[in-house]
Structure 1
Amino acid sequence: MNRRYPEYPLVGVGAVIFRDDRVLLVQRGKEPSFGKWTVPGGLVELGESLEDAVRREVLEEVGLDVNVEDLVVVLDRVILDNEEKIEYHYVLLDFLCVSSEGEPVPASDVMDCAFVSLNALPEYNLTEGTEQVVRRAFSQAHGVRFPIYDANL
């Protein structure tokens, strides 16, 4: 399976993990968006449930066990190259997760990771839509509901 210039969209999952008013961010170590900060996650493997994919990706990227609580949002990510060809195409499902024990440690394709205050999010070079997803997830964790699919994020 080729992630770059794929023949069809690839399905990915993300984990929005809070500890109080801080969210876990990872700094990407691979393209697309090398060096940018986002929530931990990755592609769903053939035969794997979404929940299992979220747990596996978080464990691989930062060494934490998580409980998957709820779906926050479904996103389209189409990234074009300089010639306007589709270089990457993902359908992303971001989940609210809980991990109350342990400290994250960067592993696999992550350069760095940290729990970051919501107020500090604008200081990070975030991937497109990450701040909105994190804020939506924080609101959802406190009882506010939004539409699951959002073509504008």
Structure 2
Amino acid sequence: MTVRSQHIACVGGIVFDPDGRLLLVRRANEPGRGLWSVPGGRVEPGEDDHTAVVRELAEETGLVVRPGPLVGVVHRGPYRIADYLCTLAPGGPSEPHAGDDADDARFVDRAGYAGLDVVDGLTETLHGWDVLPRR
């Protein structure tokens, strides 16, 4: 008998630019509409997590990333979100442009992050994983 998870599989990408700024998007849709978070979304049928995070970041930010290690997993309501540390692909775009489920996308430093309305629990989670903006 196969046991299925009650959670909806999602991924997120934690991306820093060369200056140590963290990539964030402002969500255009629920959950968290109008709030800032790391980019990501649902894993589609047939995708593995790395494929999904590359697709989601391209759709939401226009950036091409290379996924790396799993940083951590959070559960938000029905969603199980696996967040991966990603690097910008060499030769690809270096500045994000909002698309799909995001109405804004940008790299933020510590001061910029402090001024944003972020989704519940994001700051505590990123702090616990030591992945807040580095400068």
Question: TM-score, normalised to structure 2's length?
Answer: 0.84
Distance 1:137 1:59 in 2: 24
The equivalent residue for 1:94 is 83
Aligned counterpart in structure 2 of residue 108 of structure 1, from 79, 100, 105:
100
Identity %: 37
Deviation of the 1:69 alpha carbon = 1.3
Local SS of the residue matching 2:120: coil
Q: Quick check: 1:96–1:137 contact (8 Å CA) kept in 2?
A: no
Alignment of 1:129-144 (within 5 A): 129-135=121-127, 136-138=129-131
**Structure 1 residues 40-49 or 115-124, which shifts more?**
115-124
Alignment of 1:31-50 (within 5 A): 31-50=30-49
Local SS of the residue matching 1:125: coil
- Cα distance per residue 1:56-112 (max 9 Å; x no partner): 00001111100111111111112xxxxxxxxxx101101111116421100111110
**Structure 1 residues 19-28 or 121-130, which shifts more?**
121-130
Q: Quick check: 1:55–1:66 contact (8 Å CA) kept in 2?
A: yes
* Runs of 4+ that moved beyond 3 A: 132-135
* One-letter amino acid of the structure 2 residue matched with residue 138 of structure 1: V
Deviation of the 1:27 alpha carbon = 0.3
Deviation of the 1:137 alpha carbon = 4.7
The equivalent residue for 1:25 is 24
Distance 1:137 1:49 in 2: 25
Are 2:9 and 1:15 equivalent residues in the alignment? no
The equivalent residue for 2:3 is none
Distance 2:53 2:130 in 1: 15
The equivalent residue for 1:82 is none
Structure 1 gaps of 5+ residues are 1-7, 79-88, 142-153
Question: TM-score, normalised to structure 1's length?
Answer: 0.74
Structure 2 gaps of 5+ residues are 1-5
* One-letter amino acid of the structure 1 residue matched with residue 36 of structure 2: W
Alignment RMSD: 2.0
